[in-house]
Amino acid sequence: MGRILIVDDTLFMRTLLKNILSSGGHEIVGEAEDGDIGVTKYRELKPDLVTMDVVMPKMNGIEALKAIKALDANAKVIMCTAVGQEQMVKLAIKSGARGYIVKPFQAPKVLEEIGNVLGA
Amino acid sequence: MAEVPAKLEKGGSWVTSRIDIGNDGIVLKDPWNVTVSYRSIVDLQKRGQMITLLVSMPDKTERPYKIASVEKVLTIVTKKIIMACNAYRIMAHFMSPAIRGGVLVTDAKWEKGAIAVLKTGIWFVSQDKQISVPLKEVASLELTKRELQKKKLDVIKIDHLEGGEVVTSFILCPLSTLQVLYNFLRDATKDMDMKGSELDQLDAQTAQVAMLIYSGMDTKSIENMLSLPPEELNAIYETLLKLKLVDVVMVRKEVQLTPKGVRYITDALKPPS
């Protein structure tokens, strides 16, 4: 089980992810509504894993991912994006993302992916 | 002709028999003793170690034949049928599954093969893979673009249900063919399209509830997440049910203790004398 930081600009998606991850026994150590706050919270909280939305105001998910990787090269970040933005996958993976979740998603698969990344 | 062992069904009974797999058709031995040409086959369904062929007869009726055998035999028969049966068929590249439950399948790759649209399903067949997607399980179809070898290419994206999971597959072929296939698939699955009058009944909150159901949330979680009283959520469920967007899988009961129940609990909590 891991300590997880959720970064997403919509309250609905944050609540959904929080619910799914809590049901899988994970601890939600923090939430952030944009990439900038996400990076700050990563520095403060040192979570085991971050779920990161791609399209966000101020700092987007890819920029936030790069900033987090600059702080901690071993950071485990899973990107989360809407259908039709799958072309971002390569860029995210190249930037150090450990996994990719496409919205809408299903709870068991999300937990499986999180478990795989935390166990890796 | 290659003769292989199989079990054939007739009148509800299975008979240990043999089948001959030829270039133009398949011979079903005892109890049928018929030759079925591949061109007369209009549908093929596979379930476990069994396939069901639907054959168009000369009198315009259709007759099902069920064949059970080992996976190796079924793979050969399926490939022969898909490549020669009476169906809309194109040569194309496909990636299936590409996304499962919203998570990218890490070892997904493009396969070169054939796509065939039969009466009840879409078949993807390549050297290594045979995948069937029942048309009734197709949730959405979209013409979109996908990057391949640094080029953005047109693809068809198919979302379908598989054992309760939403699976996404992609089909890639020349645009003109892709458009024809897309139209063909749209037509074959048009019963799933939402009408304008149906869409009018779906407000933002109903859409959020549907999204939470998709993600696997139960009723209690949805009530908590959206701060909805049970009556309001029930009304939203009724709308979704009326539009055939959901099925009832379980009816939960809310209960309270009767006086007998209260006495039982009170007694149970008394210290032993």
Q: What is the mean pLDDT of residues B27-32?
A: 92
* Residue A20, domain member (yes or no): yes
- Does the interface predicted TM-score (ipTM) exceed 0.85? no
Q: Looking at residues B114-141, what average pLDDT do you find? A: 90
In angstroms, the CA A12 to CA A2 distance is 22
Residue A118 lies in a domain: no
> What residues pair up with B45 in beta bridges, in sequence order?
B52
Residues 53-92 of A with CB under 8 A from B: 84, 86-87, 89-90
Asked if residue A119 belongs to a domain, the reply is no
**Is residue A79 included in any domain, yes or no?**
yes
Instruction: With beta carbons less than 8 A apart as the criterion, state whether B235 and B201 touch.
Output: no
Q: Note whether residue A60 is domain-resident.
A: yes
Structural domain contains residue A2: yes
**Segment B208-217, tens digit of pLDDT:** 999 999 888 9
Taking the alpha carbons of B76, B77, B83, B84 in that order, is the dihedral positive or negative?
A: positive
Using a CB-CB distance cutoff of 8 angstroms, which residues of chain B are in contact with residue A90? 147
Nearest residue in chain A measured CA to CA from B208: A12
Chain centre to alpha carbon of residue B207: 23
Quote the domain boundaries for residue A95.
1-112
Quote the pTM value: 0.75
What angle separates helix A61-71 from helix A35-45, to the nearest 10 degrees? 20
Chain B residues whose CB is inside 8 A of the A78 CB are none
Secondary structure string (H, E, C) spanning B87-131: CEEEEEEEEEEEEECCEECCCCCCEEEEEEECCCEEEEEECCCEE
Please give the pLDDT value at position B2. Answer: 84
CA distance B83 to B116: 8
CA-nearest of B177, B130, B129, B187 to B156 is B177
Long-range CB contacts (within 8 A, 24+) of B241-250 = B242/B201, B243/B194, B243/B198, B243/B201, B243/B202, B245/B210, B246/B210, B246/B213
Render pLDDT for B224-233 as a digit per residue (tens, 0 to 9).
889 999 999 9
Contacts of B100 in chain A (CB under 8 A): 109
For the segment B233-244, what is each residue's pLDDT rounded down to a tens digit? 999 999 999 998
**How many domains are there within chain A?**
1
pLDDT tier at B150, thresholds 50, 70, 90: confident
Q: Span B185-202, mean pLDDT? A: 82
- Predicted confidence at residue B184, as pLDDT, reads 85
**Domain contains A77:** yes
For residue A117, tell me if it sits in a domain: no
| Segment A37-59, tens digit of pLDDT | 999 999 999 999 999 999 888 88
The answer on pLDDT for B190 being more than 90 is no
Nearest to B80 by CA among B55, B49, B44, B112: B44
Handedness of CA B256, B258, B259, B265 (dihedral sign): negative
Tell me the CATH number at A39: 3.40.50.2300
Please give, rounded to a whole number of angstroms, the shortest distance from the CA of A87 to a CA of chain B: 6
Residue B187's pLDDT is 87
CA-based nearest residue to B211, from A62, A50, A103: A103
- What's residue B230's pLDDT? 92
What is the pairing mode between strands B165-172 and B62-68? Answer: unpaired
